[in-house]
Structure 1
Amino acid sequence: MPEYEFWNQIWELNHRVADLGEPLALTDETRALLRDTAAEVAIAPEEAASALQGDVSAAALLKEIAKRIRVGSRRLSRALIEARKHEEAGDRDAARAPLLALLDVEVVPLYREQAQIQLDALDEP
């Protein structure tokens, strides 16, 4: 289960680096944050370790982690809203479609799990 505090730290760090132009300081704490959070968004440990060898590649890793969190969250929200709309209209098959579409493309385990929970709930009597 992701540490939401870490995801908030990623968001803040990415904002400072990407939006405000601050340099990424690769401290031991920052490396640990990026390494641990990379695993939570389905970035292979080897890929994260390699990226943490330099400032430029670590900044790219930060950007990718933040993107997966942001884009996945939006994708999940849209799928849940659309599924709920169809479910309320009584069309469970149509309600499954956005959740299945999300599972086809989503890589973040937490978002996949949440979509699967909703999908399973549609199958309950």
Structure 2
Amino acid sequence: MPSQRDWDAVKDLSRRITDPVQPFLTAETRALVQSTAHDVGIPPGETARALQNDESAAVLVKEIASRITAGSRRLSCVLVEVDRRRDAGDLDGARQLLNDVLAVEVVPHYQDIVHVYLKALDDEQ
């Protein structure tokens, strides 16, 4: 499971990146970016290419932060509606919402959460 502290750190780093990009790659930030890129489903080769310089690394950091934020918001909204539909007895509607979000979600951790909800719905039938 990804570390909430690392995800918060990369989102903070994303907010601190200036335009034009000032040098920010250190051994510590490089390790943070590598681990969080993996957490949000960015392939290792793409990560390695982006970490060649500060400008491309900044783009990668922004993408990581965006995936974390967008996925979290998307998942939070859909889970509220899934629970509402499940409580109303509309298991098919709840399942469809989960499948729809699964079709667009790229963050493995969020995909895992959706799969847990789908399994719970299957267990209710």
Indicate the TM-score class for this superposition, using the shorter chain for normalisation.
over 0.9
C-alpha distance in 2, partners of 1:43/1:2? 14
8 Å contact kept, 1:83–1:97: no
CA RMSD of aligned residues (A): 1.5
**Residue deviations 1:46-105, cap 9 Å, x none?**
000000001110000000000000001011111101111111111100111111001101
| Percent identity of paired positions between Structure 1 and Structure 2 | 48
TM-score normalized with structure 2 length: 0.93
8 Å contact kept, 2:2–2:39: yes
Aligned to 1:3: 3
Unaligned runs of 5+ in 1: none
8 Å contact kept, 2:47–2:60: yes
Aligned to 1:87: 86
Alpha-carbon offset, residue 24 of structure 1: 4.6
Alpha-carbon offset, residue 25 of structure 1: 0.8
How do 1:60-99 residues align onto structure 2 when only pairs under 5 Å count? 60-99=59-98
Greater RCO between the two (CA within 8 Å, min separation 6)?
Answer: 2
Alpha-carbon offset, residue 21 of structure 1: 7.7
C-alpha distance in 2, partners of 1:30/1:61? 12
